[in-house]
Amino acid sequence: MIKGGILKQSILSLFLLIALFVQVSEARPIKEGDVLEISVPGNATLSAKVVVNENGTIDYPLLTDRSVVGLSVREVMDLLTFAVAKSDPANMVVVNLLSEHKLKVNVLGQVKKPGMVMVDKGSSIQEILLQAEGATETANLSDIRLVRKDNTIEKSEQINLEAFLETGNLRELPEIKNGDTYIVLKEKRSRTVKVLGAVKKPGFFTPLSESNLFDLIQLAGGQMDDADLTKIRHITTVNNKRIDTFVNLRDFWEDFSSQDQIPKVQEGDIIIVYRKSITWTAFMGWLRDGVSLITVFVLVRGLALN
């Protein structure tokens, strides 16, 4: 009997604690950034999770213009129940406070799942991109635009995530605020290398890490028989400046130890393989044609003399 009484008392204490927790949750004033779960039984349209905006409002059809900051959960529940009763008197609304640390931000542009995401306060822009399922292959992480409303003024600033990844300087990253919009722009430069001229399959090719001029020529099917490997044109970009040079690949082949010094390529480069001005095959062809012409000339002259 004693054990049964202790068990009943423990269960009663547990229920009292739960009831106290619910009362405290309902009594605590709602703040900016809180997440409210609104449930309307039998009405999926009006059931939603909403974040309290900076101006105190929530994106909910029955309560769009009024601030809920400072109200209790019970008071918001009563307001919504009264609003729902106008069209459905038999229904009721249940509101729960899920969290007080969520922020609602929009992620647009070169991400795999653009749209609204909800993150914890103190989250980084990397966590926001992760919520959007990551950046696409064409994303320019050095040029992410942050659009933020300060009262009624809309401000825009540039975020260089690549600079942060290189330096680790936290000052490169902004503090995430509720209502922010992050736009990941598309990389302007090409992510392929263009190979033209005397190659078997000219076109665009994706370079591997540490690829060099010879590697890309092989990706393009190799050089043609009349290719001039002493005059390979390589157009690349160094420190945002376009560099145009000519490379003699035969110099590297003759000295095997210098093959590691063959110029590397990067995304956006252009490689042009020129044809020889005079090839041995062409020279022999011209010589053969010349001999034939001379032979014909001699025969014609001999017949004329006879």
Widest pairwise Cα distance in the chain: 147
**Within-domain flag for 286:** no
Q: What pLDDT digit, counting tens, does each position of 113-157 carry?
A: 999 888 887 888 988 999 899 998 888 888 899 999 877 788 889
Phi, psi of 91 (to 5 degrees): -95, 170
pLDDT value, residue 22: 43
Query: What residue ranges in the chain does DSSP mark as E strands?
Result: 35-39, 48-51, 94-99, 102-109, 115-120, 139-150, 153-159, 181-186, 193-197, 203-205, 227-238, 241-247, 270-275
| Alpha-carbon distances of 267 from 4, 64, 138, 210, rounded to whole Å | 76, 49, 12, 11
**Please, which pLDDT band fits residue 14 given cuts at 50, 70 and 90?**
very low
Contact between residue 128 and residue 158 where contact means Cβ atoms under 8 Å apart: no
C-alpha to C-alpha distance for 103 and 175, rounded to whole angstroms: 11
Does 94 share its domain with 113?
no
Residue 212 has pLDDT above 70, yes or no: yes
**Within-domain flag for 140:** yes
Domain count, the chain: 3
State the CATH number of the domain containing residue 58.
3.30.1950.10
222 phi-psi bin (left φ>0, alpha ψ -120 to 50, beta other): left
Does 211 share its domain with 247?
yes
Q: Which residues pair with 116 in a beta bridge?
A: 106
**Within-domain flag for 299:** no
Domain C-terminal end among 99, 134, 151: 99
pLDDT value, residue 124: 87
**Within-domain flag for 289:** no
**Within-domain flag for 304:** no
Does 114 share its domain with 168?
yes
Does 9 share its domain with 87?
yes
Which residue range forms the structural domain that includes residue 259? 193-280
State the CATH number of the domain containing residue 218.
3.10.560.10
Enter the pTM of the model.
0.45
**Within-domain flag for 217:** yes
**Within-domain flag for 285:** no
**Please, which pLDDT band fits residue 29 given cuts at 50, 70 and 90?**
confident
